[in-house]
Structure 1
Amino acid sequence: MNEQQITQLLREEWSTIEVGPAPVEAVTASARLRRSRFATAGAVGLAAAVTLAVVLVTGGDDPRTIPPTGTDLPPRSNPVDIAWHDGQTLHLRAVDVPMDLVLDVAPVQDGGTYGAVVSRLVDDVVEVVHVDAAGEQAVIGTIVTKADVVGSPRDTVAAWVEGTGADREVVAYDTALAAEIARTPLPADRPELNAVAVDGGAVYLTDSQGSQVWVPGDGTPTAYDAGEGLLLDVAGGVRLVAARDFRTVSVGPVGAARTIPGGNGATGLSADGSFVLPGSPLGVGTMDASESPVHRTEDGEAVSLDLGLEPETAVLDAALGDGVVVYVIARDFLLPENPEDPAGYQVFSLVTCDLGSGTCDTAVADVKADPSSRSPVLLAR
């Protein structure tokens, strides 16, 4: 009997099955196995069996709904306003969660506090994982060709695109309901559409042909007018659009948007749409902090920040939080003794700046990371 036949049998016999408590210890053990990049074929089989058992005992008609798994973690005070990952640990506002091979981190509202949805590599599969404010984890989907997940600290909905070719779908998952709420196929002639933002429960997508918006559960994506540029973000009803050459970005409605210079770093709006990082999304690269300023969307003016950094200080990333901006400052560039060893920065600091007062402080010093990792420090955005 194959997996499809087993699933069909379970659906037919659902009403006759006595519901019991979830096998917490087995599920936790399985989750640890799945996080290991060296999991054996036997471990993979065990994980699949435990997942099937969890679906069986918890009920529900949607086999994609997977209950949280995890262990109790001691509370920690994160001095950074946003979630971040240092290569081995995901740092939320009140808890540190051991987690490796993370590719992307997106914030989500969680019980009035703060959680995250991440994509991570597990045995050549990119999983989408919801991590709530207490550190509980739930695998909620997979991504085949992209590692991007999008969310907002003001919204409980996260979104991503999964599948390949004509089978690509945009998926919306509500972390408050702990369930997938909708999915819909992407237009056959738009295979490169990718989710870029969630705002007010709506999911925004873009590609080189233009932008679309999708309200989960309300039909299919429809055209969204972002002007002549490329839609980068939507937050608090404010849109951020880059020119085709990325030299400038515009903030606000089409025909009445403010245009400001683009940069070489991270790009995005604050959750309420009040501030913008106007850099281009061409990839993380070394840059001076002055090349990644913050602008007010109301008047387009740059915010004066007292960073106190040397002019040639390397800044690898930046992201906006609630009234703050966080910079990843790179230090101690490692030159390998062996030509086969990786070269790169191995020590980092996180500097936070208050966007009201302009004062800046080193919130976290001496973050050490393997220079061979894809991106040693990831900031949620």
Structure 2
Amino acid sequence: MRPREVLAADLFRRASESIEVSSVPLEEIVGAARAERVRRRRRALVGVAVAALVVGVATWLSTRSSSEPDSLGPLEVRRAPNPVDVAWYAGGRLHLDDVTVALPALTDLVELNGGAVYGDHEGTVAFVAADGERRLLGHKDPDTLLVGSTAQAWVAWIEPGEDRRLVAYDVSTGEVVDTRDLPAGDAQLIALDQHRIFYRDSAGAYAWTPGVDSAERLVRGGLVDVESATRVYQEGRRIDMVQAFFSVDFERPGIGALLSPGGTHVLTRRPDGAATRVDAPYRPLLYDARSGDALDTGVGRGERAVDATFGDNLETVYLVAQVADLAGGSDLDGNIDPLLVLRSCSIGGQCHDVAPVQTGTDRPLLAH
């Protein structure tokens, strides 16, 4: 090595020895790495938890859509005032106070909480609120009646299948009040009054209070309606109106019965040849259950009622057809279905035809 190169190397060596170099902070680096690993682990756990939550919510939504009570689809709702103070159905539309709602053919209709509970030919039991929103309540045997009580906002029905159950449902709370197993057979509901459900089968008639295990066997058979403790019994081609509180009863001609709110008046069918058919037009009869007096119905001799009910203000409401229109044939427009008239009558007073009703293929109904 040349002297000049030796001198340069010696100078670099001395310079490097004069520079202080700190030792590598191993503990700090390891600590930082550990902290970063913890952070990554936490982020991974959060991601897993979020993914699990998303999957759980998706699963809940998928099961809820098929099993929860509000799984029915939306309805076509139109704004339209109701010309009478009861809910009614005709021509594929349910008429409430302020709206009409498109629905399939119905078998039962009960007015509750400003809306209505209906049963259809598929056995669906649903509540349609005053604004047209619909909620599924359950399913019933289409051949059995749906009964309700406006006083307590309850409805009751009989579930289909081999294991038949009587279901009591509170529309206000959206909950089942109670259920009762029924023996296989021909059980039919009669009425719902003062928190008691009345029903009958081939063995007799019963009154069941939800929350109580056993049902009371009624001594007298033939019960056809109950309201505010007033009872109506069928006796051949006559009805017996009984007000037990006043210890009075009146037997009068009639087939079937519908009591007014408060149990003061009774609508029935004149006992002629067609009265035994539920879907046949008929001549109505109206009685005062307190005196037994027959009252003017507001339906003339040349007319027939397709359905009849009581309004909120003790009015009678009818769907009325002309006898001539029921004979068959088509009108000038080619329609073969009779044109009905929606009629409202004050009890013992005047009547008003409030709207024409085109029947179509579906049987028109008034809320009972």
Q: Say whether the fold is shared (TM-score over 0.5).
A: yes
1:78 pairs with 2:85: no
Tell me which of 239, 260, 263 is aligned to 1:273.
Answer: 263
1:330 pairs with 2:287: no
For residue 194 of structure 2, what is the aligned residue in structure 1?
200
Q: Distance in 2 between matches of 1:171 and 1:64?
A: 17
CA contact (8 A) 1:250 1:259 kept: yes
Q: Distance in 2 between matches of 1:51 and 1:156?
A: 31
Paired amino acid for 1:269: L
CA contact (8 A) 1:65 1:180 kept: no
1:239 pairs with 2:231: yes
CA contact (8 A) 1:249 1:278 kept: no
For residue 348 of structure 1, what is the aligned residue in structure 2?
340
Q: Distance in 2 between matches of 1:312 and 1:237?
A: 35
For residue 99 of structure 1, what is the aligned residue in structure 2?
103
Q: Distance in 1 between matches of 2:71 and 2:175?
A: 9
For residue 216 of structure 1, what is the aligned residue in structure 2?
210
**Identical pairs, percent:** 26
Describe the superposition over 1:88-127 as per-residue Cα deviations: whole angstroms up to 9, x where unpaired.
101112221111211111222x1xxx22111113xxx321
Q: Distance in 2 between matches of 1:319 and 1:262?
A: 18
Paired amino acid for 2:230: V
5+ residue gaps, structure 1, are 1-15, 24-48, 56-62, 338-342
Aligned residues, how many?
Answer: 304
In the TM superposition, what are the counterparts of 1:1-381 in structure 2 within 5 Å? 52-54=63-65, 65-66=69-70, 70=74, 73-108=77-112, 110=113, 114-121=114-121, 125-165=122-162, 167-187=163-183, 191-225=185-219, 227=220, 229-243=221-235, 245-253=236-244, 256-264=247-255, 267-279=257-269, 282-288=277-283, 292-305=284-297, 307=298, 310-322=300-312, 323-331=314-322, 332-333=325-326, 335=328, 345-355=337-347, 358-365=349-356, 367-370=357-360, 372-373=361-362, 375=363, 377-381=364-368
Say which one has the larger Rg. Answer: 2
Q: Distance in 2 between matches of 1:71 and 1:164?
A: 28
> Offset at 1:205?
0.7
CA contact (8 A) 2:230 2:241 kept: no
> Offset at 1:71?
5.7
For residue 13 of structure 1, what is the aligned residue in structure 2?
none
Paired amino acid for 2:153: T
Paired amino acid for 1:352: S
* Gap change, CA 1:312 and 1:53, over 3 Å in 2: same
* Gap change, CA 1:145 and 1:293, over 3 Å in 2: closer
Q: TM-score, normalised by structure 1?
A: 0.70
* Gap change, CA 1:240 and 1:333, over 3 Å in 2: closer
Q: Distance in 1 between matches of 2:309 and 2:55?
A: 45
Paired amino acid for 1:160: W
Q: Distance in 2 between matches of 1:281 and 1:20?
A: 56
Q: Distance in 2 between matches of 1:76 and 1:161?
A: 33
* Gap change, CA 1:96 and 1:129, over 3 Å in 2: same
